[in-house]
Structure 1
Amino acid sequence: MKLICRTCHLEISKEVRELPDVSLLNHEDAQDYIPEGFYIIDDNKMHLDLRDAIIINLKDLVNSKRHSNRSRLNGCCGMDGLDGRNRLCLRNHEIGTEKSDCWMAHFIALDPEMVQFE
């Protein structure tokens, strides 16, 4: 399956499938949280303030860009995602929050109200 922007239907992910074994998740700082090619539905284990976020590897994200509002792009070595959605589809619709700072595992949490599976 691929994920698309609900507003404009632009593909925003490569092919992903549900991760069959959550023991494959990596909580180490500055490393990929989820393997490439997979997704999980967050049950608030990542404390995201985003109910049922769809989490994928940043390398599986396509047709997206950083938010134009620079106040949402905080972090020291990457983006910490603490200031709201910081990723847009290429047509400027907010799709989710990138977490890529040095003190956290790296992933993107896609908002299920803004994206859908196709």
Structure 2
Amino acid sequence: MKRFVVCKTCGARVSGLLDSPVALDFITKAEQELLSGGEYGNGDNGNVYISTSDKHHLSYHQDQNRLIGCCGPSPYGLPNLVCICKSEIGREVTDCCTAHYVMLYKERIAIREDNTGLLEKVVSLPVAEDLKSQYEILINFGEIEIVLNALKM
């Protein structure tokens, strides 16, 4: 069963589909992705870590000072990622000499499960992203029958 991360403010999905959590290894992953796509980890502080490739509906903060680092955003400073609702939700780190990751703040997110597998099917459809988003909204509002009928499943 796949999992995904949502914004607590608006309910939008902010990660790709994820498998079970894995152990985090910051030491041996310097200048590399901390996690592969589809993996996530839980930090000691309760924050959730995902691969930079698993960002979904996240954009950089308009304050460019939050993106400062030697070769990319450093692990220090204010949130530099915002949800589509403009909630400051996490920090992307891609600086040299550090692992590369997205850290999502525990108080701003929730982890959900794709119990039916329907979201996984929708995400993999060979259709336009806006149509996938429409199906996803219907799923979030419990309108699964409408999506099933549209997909003729």
Provide the TM-score with structure 1 as the length reference.
0.84
Report the identity percentage: 28
Q: Which runs of 5+ in 2 are unaligned?
A: 113-153
| Counterpart selection for 2:96 from 93, 96, 102 | 102
Distance 2:19 2:107 in 1: 19
- How far is the alpha carbon of 1:34 from its aligned partner? 1.4
Query: For residue 78 of structure 2, what is the aligned residue in structure 1?
Result: 84
* Structure with greater strand share of residues: 1
Please name the residue that 2:29 is paired with.
28
Letter in 1 for 2:20: E
**Corresponding residue for residue 93 of structure 1:** 87
In structure 2, C-alpha distance between the alignment counterparts of 1:25 and 1:37, rounded to whole Å: 16
For the 8 Å contact 1:74–1:82, the answer to whether it is kept is: no
SS at match of 2:107: coil
The CA distance in 1 between the partners of 2:39 and 2:29, in whole Å, is 18
Secondary structure of 1:17's counterpart equals coil
Query: Could you tell me which residue of structure 1 aligns to residue 13 of structure 2?
Result: 11
Give the length in aligned residue pairs.
109
Root-mean-square deviation (CA), in Å? 1.6
2:100 is matched by which residue type in structure 1?
H
Aligned to 2:43: 42
Distance 1:25 1:104 in 2: 11
The Cα of 1:103 is off from its aligned counterpart by: 1.7
Return the structure number with greater helix share: 2
Following the alignment from structure 2 to structure 1, what is the Cα–Cα distance between the partners of residues 86 and 13? 13
Q: Per-residue CA shift, 1:46-81, capped at 9, x if unaligned? A: xxxxx2110111101111101112221111211103
- The alignment partner of 2:106 has SS state of coil
Larger radius of gyration: 2
| Most deviating of 55-64 and 25-34 | 25-34
Q: Distance in 2 between matches of 1:11 and 1:73?
A: 23
Structure 2 length normalisation: TM-score? 0.66
| Matched position secondary structure for 1:71 | helix
| Structure 1 gap segments, 5+ residues each | 44-50
Q: Is the 8 A contact 1:66 1:87 kept in 2?
A: yes
